[in-house]
Amino acid sequence: MASAVSDVAWLSAMLSFEAALADAQAELDLIPREAARDIVAACQVERYDIEAIGREAAHSASPVVALIDSLRGMVGSQAASFVHRDATSQDVIDSAMMLVARDALDVLLTDLGVLMARCAALAEQHRDTPMVGRTLLQHARPITFGFKAATWLTGVLDARNHLAAIRKGRLAVQLGGAVGTLEGFDGRGREVLAAIARNLGLAEPELPWHSNRGRVAELGSALAVAAGACAKIALDVALLAQTEVGEVSVAAPGRSSAMSHKRNPARAVEARAAFAGVTGQAAVLLAAMSGEHERSAGAWQSEWPALSEAFRLAAGAVARTRETLTGLQVDVERMRINLGPSQDLGIGASALVDRALEIYRGEVKDDG
């Protein structure tokens, strides 16, 4: 994930947009095909000094100005005037954001799939393992550990499905020109937009979304929900692993610097910490929705680092939760002891496990 949202990944995505823009305009005979070929050939990330572009970015509150200067210098005088023709910095960065998000989502969706498999295995193995159900941290009616794991599974499944839907239909190319009106492009802005969307494999929006930041906020919120589903699992494991409860123990506990006897559920702790960080970044993305007029002064710029950090932390929450469940040791006898004389499993716990597994298996089959 660190690689998927790195500065190099962002720069590569911005260059991909510039190449797709040139290709689209050449396809529509808006710029010479020779110029487009030169531009595309120059859009190779390894040819750019990313640190120099970063330093120059501070002077214009955007990395695009320095990038375009470098690109124009590489293509030579013949093609230079056709670089970035009629586009604006926000077109480049928003489209790059969608490309970066697509690659990052592919990483996250894969890892969520592994976590779901861990939950499903526990649900199936412990379908009929009785344990105490707890409400408001107090003993309540009996459940099964399989039911608890099935509840984890459905939470992760719902979060993954939301992210998959965003991956499929909400990652849209950006093209609006100077103020989002598609001014320029010889009056063929909609055609250019459609061609870029095809070239990049992104959705084609109905309208430019320069000042409508809902799709970015939606992505940030979905990342927080996914991390939250993981944090729920992590907290349950930490509570069940308490010394006085002792119903589960992690396979790879963390150590204490002061107390050698402790077996800390370190991965669960890290998952919860990562979730707390994701919610902070999601709040930044939500706040950016109230930008000024046609382009905000600061709110839009706040999205770039916030989205990358949200992806990093969400991936951390998923990975640490997956590690928490890997080799999780379930003490069936301790669960029975804590449950006491009541072995009645109540109504439908095992049947609900079966239903959750049925839904999960259907989703996996649909995914191929």
Positions marked active-site: 256, 295
Residues 6+ away with beta carbon under 8 Å from 95:
13, 14, 17, 173, 174, 175, 196, 200, 202
The runs of H, that is alpha helices, within the chain are 7-27, 33-42, 50-60, 64-75, 77-80, 89-125, 145-169, 189-200, 214-240, 266-287, 299-325, 332-339, 349-366
Spatial distance between the Cα atoms of 211 and 300, rounded to a whole number of angstroms: 9
Tokens describing residue 146? 């399989």
Spatial distance between the Cα atoms of 337 and 218, rounded to a whole number of angstroms: 45
Tokens describing residue 151? 């509840």
In total, the chain counts a number of residues equal to 368
The crossing angle, in degrees rounded to 10, of helices 189-200 and 89-125 is: 40
Strand partners, 132: 142
Strand partners, 130: 144
Gap between the terminal Cα atoms of the chain: 23
Contact 81, 34 (CB under 8 A): no
Residues 6+ away with beta carbon under 8 Å from 157:
116, 359, 360, 363
How many degrees, rounded to 5, is the angle at CA 107 between CA 102 and CA 112? 115
Q: What is the DSSP string of 192-215?
A: HHHHHHHHHT-B--SS--TT--HH
Tokens describing residue 229? 């589903």
**Beta-carbon count within 10 A of 271 CB:** 28
